[in-house]
Structure 1
Amino acid sequence: MDMLNPNWFLKARLKTRQLLLLIALDDFRNIHRAADELHMTQPAASKQLKDLEEMLDVRLFERLPRGMEPTIYGETMIRHARMALTSLSLAHDDIVALKAGMAGQVEVGVIMAPAMALLPRAIARIKEQAPLLRIGVQLEQSNVLMGKLQHGTLDFMIGRILEKQDSTGLIYEELTEEPACAVVRPGHPLLERTDLALADICSLPWILPPPGSVLRHRFDMMFRREGLAPPVNVVDSTALLFVTALLQQTDALHVLPRDVAEYYASLNVLKLLPIDLPCKMDAFGIIRQQDRILSPGADMLLNAVRAAASELY
């Protein structure tokens, strides 16, 4: 027999019973007691051991007047038999845990941009595999979600770690950075333009995130870098229901993360203005607590988020 074949045990028809016998012989050092333990006859146990020794072409045990002693080959085989059986019992535990996870629950926090495309795609995929998994989704800003994560009310979150936040004990997996774009109502006169520049839009009316927010700061700086004054005809709001309603009734412009804008554009609520804004939010990613072991359900959703991110970004 070719012992170099990595699947030699398949050819040799190695039985789980033989692995159990090796372990029992190691525990009892006596063929009668080992056979009793496995509810076998002593001749059947002897034959199983002899078959295994012939298959491997080595002696696994020295037969002594008072029992048996494993040889160096026997000790190796016993060690591997124990590992193989441990691994199989872990497989059973994993299956039980997965079955529980299929009907368990998971609580996830998410900021606006990944809530538009990434998380819905991941959840749609999970619901095909595990329809009974209860998924709770909380849509908030990163700082609010971070508090919930650290209090243990979220399994994981998709958001940002802000500069002033303490990130000890957290695992952060970056997914993508977040470009911003300008949006207007469908039918807006500027949609016809193909040559728009920042100078054309700085003096127009805008609906913007409030002063002090990261996006507002970067938006204002974008104009200053071009030597322009940031817009002054401004309504401050991030409440999208209100913003979309106001955009329908005015010629105002609004700035949004691109994923969010594309979602609303697909519903024909807004249109993206044909201008590339040199303005980005910080990257966001998956954030979880280092010392928290995820439930099978949360683990499934986490993997679905990773898979969706690799398709989208």
Structure 2
Amino acid sequence: MAEFDWYLQVNLKARHLRLLVAIDTYRNLTQVAEVTHVTVPAVSKSLTELERGLGLALFSRTPQGLMPTPYGDCLIRHARSMLTVLHDARDQLKALSSGAEGKIRIGMLPASASVLLPQALSLLKQRSPSTNVTIIEGTTEALLPELWQGRLDLVVGRLPAPGTLGSFEERELLEEPVVLMTGLHHPLARKKSLAWSDLCDYAWILPPPGSLLRDPLERVLEANDVPLSSDYIETLSIHVVRAQLRVSDSIAIMAVSIASDPVQPLHVLPLSLPRLVRPVGVLWNRDRGLTPSAEQMVRCLEEAARQQSARLGDMAHA
């Protein structure tokens, strides 16, 4: 074990980490050689040297290609994490040397953060124009692994159930209700009062299965004897929802702020929904902590949430 420890601490280099990730990605030495611009014998030699130095078999040859052994799986996971840390250091050093103040990578849950996040970004850019931001839209299932692995600094949107957080730290930002909505032309938009049974004849635009809103919505509809018809579209895209509501008689469920957009207003159906989901908030990896730029972004999110909360209060009393 002394040789094993020595190799990891002294001989393991960034090129070994990149080699492991490349082999895991392509599972074929010829493809690895092509993308790394070296020869196949050179790739094979590097892998052999790494396995000999560790005294462990990292890959096994199968008809499906090179498959990681349990040792390989373990080292590949850490290799990806270490490369992410190195890339972060590179980006931060580049930013400092160019006069920029940093870079933030944010995952956004589009159906719940599409109003809050742009307001927070506007505040950030007013205060720190040289802080650069990358935004990636996705579902909770797609974004949380990226946050855990360090490829994202923050995730903004509806907070998941507390029992699923693990090593994530959360901060609640905004208690924003969700509502049922239609286009302004919809037959139900002309009615001053509604019963749940009035919804039965219309198509739906639904959040996809597994998303935070889908199961709670189905439970509410079932409790009010509203069967989901076979006529529906599933999407988390606000752009698709808006467009479809404008050209069809569908019904959708989204945050109330989306319906109040002065440029593209929608109609909120006067049916009371219970609290279906947790507040909008921000998540980060507790074990990695926050960079100064990410801390500043969290402060901007908090301020934008206070401003939006005040607007929602004004809407409620209007």
SS in 1 for 2:179: strand
Please say if 1:230 is aligned against 2:227.
yes
The corresponding residue for 1:14 is none
The corresponding residue for 1:149 is 147
2: CA distance between counterparts of 1:276 and 1:135? 38
Q: Residues 64-83 of structure 1 correspond to what in structure 2 (within 5 A)?
A: none
2: CA distance between counterparts of 1:293 and 1:145? 17
The corresponding residue for 2:291 is 295
**What displacement does 1:172 show?**
1.4
Question: Normalized against structure 2, the TM-score is what?
Answer: 0.59
The corresponding residue for 2:128 is 130
Gaps in structure 2 of 5+ consecutive residues: 1-94, 310-318
Q: Which residue identity is paired with 1:303?
A: R
Q: Which residue identity is paired with 1:152?
A: G
Paired residues, what number? 213
The corresponding residue for 1:33 is none
1: CA distance between counterparts of 2:291 and 2:210? 38
The corresponding residue for 1:171 is 169
2: CA distance between counterparts of 1:187 and 1:289? 45
The corresponding residue for 1:248 is 246
- Taking a change above 3 Å as real, the CA distance of residues 99 and 310 of structure 1, as seen in their structure-2 partners, is farther
The corresponding residue for 2:86 is none
2: CA distance between counterparts of 1:101 and 1:172? 31
Q: Which residue identity is paired with 1:196?
A: L
Which of structures 1 and 2 has the bigger CA Rg? 1
2: CA distance between counterparts of 1:162 and 1:143? 12
Counterpart contact for 2:245–2:251, Cα < 8 Å? yes
Counterpart contact for 2:113–2:280, Cα < 8 Å? no
The corresponding residue for 1:184 is 182
The corresponding residue for 2:19 is none
2:279 to 278, 283, 287: 283
Counterpart contact for 1:102–1:297, Cα < 8 Å? no
Q: Which residue identity is paired with 2:177?
A: P
Counterpart contact for 1:204–1:231, Cα < 8 Å? no
**What displacement does 1:101 show?**
8.6
The corresponding residue for 1:110 is 108
Counterpart contact for 1:112–1:260, Cα < 8 Å? no
Report % sequence identity.
29
2: CA distance between counterparts of 1:252 and 1:161? 27
Question: Normalized against structure 1, the TM-score is what?
Answer: 0.60
The corresponding residue for 1:195 is 193
Counterpart contact for 1:182–1:273, Cα < 8 Å? yes
2: CA distance between counterparts of 1:131 and 1:280? 37
Counterpart contact for 1:143–1:162, Cα < 8 Å? no
Q: Deviations over 1:27-86 (max 9, x none)?
A: xxxxxxxxxxxxxxxxxxxxxxxxxxxxxxxxxxxxxxxxxxxxxxxxxxxxxxxxxxxx
Q: Deviations over 1:225-248 (max 9, x none)?
A: 23x132314313114444333333
Counterpart contact for 1:207–1:235, Cα < 8 Å? yes
Please say if 1:271 is aligned against 2:270.
no
Counterpart contact for 1:109–1:157, Cα < 8 Å? yes
CA RMSD, Structure 1 to Structure 2 (Å): 2.8
